[in-house]
Amino acid sequence: MRRNTAHLVAGGAVVVVLSGLLVAGCTTAPADDQPTSSPHVAVSGLPSTFVTAADWSVAVRSGSAVAAADPGILVLRSAGSQAYVVSVLNPANGVPRWVSVPIPVTTIAPQAGFTSDDGHPWVVVESTTDATTMLWVFDAYATGRDVQPVQGHKFEGANGKPPVVTVTDRGVLVTAVKEGGSLVYRPASGVAQVFATPGQVPIRSYGTNVLVTLAGGFGLIAEKIGWLSKDRRPPGVAANATATAMAVDGAFVVAVWTGNDKRTTLALHELLTGTVRATSQLAATDRAGREPQPFLVARDGAWAVYGSRAFNLSNGAETVLQGGPYAFTQIQDAVAYGVEPAAAAPSTAPSPSPSASASRVPSAASSPSVSTPATKPATKPVVLDLLTGAVLDTRTPVTVPGDFDGLGHGLFVMHAPGSGDDTLYAVPLKRWRP
């Protein structure tokens, strides 16, 4: 799941629920998830913003996915050929706070991510076979081993395809379901609420609030206080201007405003209030006004990057980034980490695999997460200073973190040549550990 989500390689088993226990040919999680490396082990190939030694490291199965949020570090990994498990690690030392019961592999790579509902954090696991998707909900603050899901819900997709599940740090939205319409899924209760308003297309769910697009704009439909874009025009935008929501991430939506005066304005709106936090005037030839660009908001809400522009959300200041285009996955302390995509390679469509990721229209990710795509075009890691727009690390190779925890650790999953396992390293930023 950026950030709060993970994806795994799928096989071809069927989920069976028996007296509340997920059955996958075994009923006990494997005991190979304890930290295995001594602390302060040296790590090479890191960005210059990090120290050179990890505070701790733990061996994980090859292909594991990692994401972080307040409850800890979410790991989605295989547990043999027919199952996978999710666990949450203590960011201080890598020791598991809890490990789930095994969950059977499915025909589509599983995903797991953090979300919240009713004031509580949850881990949602998406397990899909053909056109059927099961959502398993775990208490993010659980403890112990063989932790059972507290909720489970089956969704059938339309036209023989699986439903589309969007998990963010604030809610779960299920679209393209067999019954038609869209569903707001509440992890706390396990209830799926029907959302069906003519002329409105849901984009994201935030508890009982739903971000929608509609004729000439977009808005947040809420039980109590919502808003529409027509009432949240940026300064200087013509009264007849229309808005198009281009991308969503975290608590922000990017919109392009166009009017009869031919001016095009890019604006970052707060999701919950519609308040404009930053704007940029676009040239008629700028692709950012016509095509959605990669969008990422820092977890602390201090910075946002849309395409080749970075915005300081405390004062609305804009920085034009050097080079690009880039696809960033993490922002920490005014530094963005990601890749500069190369030309996409021909698809080889390998088997689906496990992944952890998050989601934020398109985004980088919305719930804390990471993912393992079915195909991987060649990419070049990149690290940029958002204050200046300059590239910080020009040397290669350099590895970018998959996520950050709340203790200032960058989380790096690295593969040792000749080994069947990967290692998860928690490496402090220099700024946090001089």
> In the predicted model, what is the mean pLDDT of residues 158-175?
93
The backbone region for 203, taken as left when phi is positive above 0, alpha when psi lies in -120 to 50, beta otherwise, is: alpha
Is residue 424 within 8 Å of residue 93, measured between CB atoms? no
The predicted structure's pLDDT at residue 378: 55
Residue with tokens 């935030």: 206
Give residue 403's identity as a one-letter amino acid code.
Answer: D
The predicted structure's pLDDT at residue 36: 52
Q: Which two tokens stand for residue 384?
A: 């940029």
Tell me if the pTM is above 0.85: no
Dist CA 185 CA 207 (whole Å): 8
Question: What are the tens digits of pLDDT across the range 362-419?
Answer: 343 445 443 333 444 557 889 999 999 999 986 666 888 989 998 889 999 888 666 6
Dist CA 408 CA 95 (whole Å): 17
Dist CA 270 CA 254 (whole Å): 9
Question: What are the tens digits of pLDDT across the range 90-137?
Answer: 999 999 999 999 998 888 889 999 999 999 999 999 999 999 999 999
Question: What are the tens digits of pLDDT across the range 184-203?
Answer: 999 999 999 988 677 788 98
For domain 5-428, the CATH class is mainly beta
- Geometric angle at alpha carbon 19, from 18 and 20, rounded to 5°: 90
HEC assignment per residue over 198-238: CCCEEEEEECCEEEEEECCEEEEECCCCCEEHHHCCCCCCC
Q: Which two tokens stand for residue 328?
A: 């960033």
The predicted structure's pLDDT at residue 361: 45
Question: What are the tens digits of pLDDT across the range 289-320?
Answer: 889 999 999 999 999 999 999 999 999 999 99
Is residue 333 within 8 Å of residue 431, measured between CB atoms? yes
Domain ranges of the chain: 5-428
Backbone angles phi, psi at 264, to 5 degrees: -120, 120
**b/e code 39-48 from CB counts within 10 Å (16+ = b):** eeeebeebbe
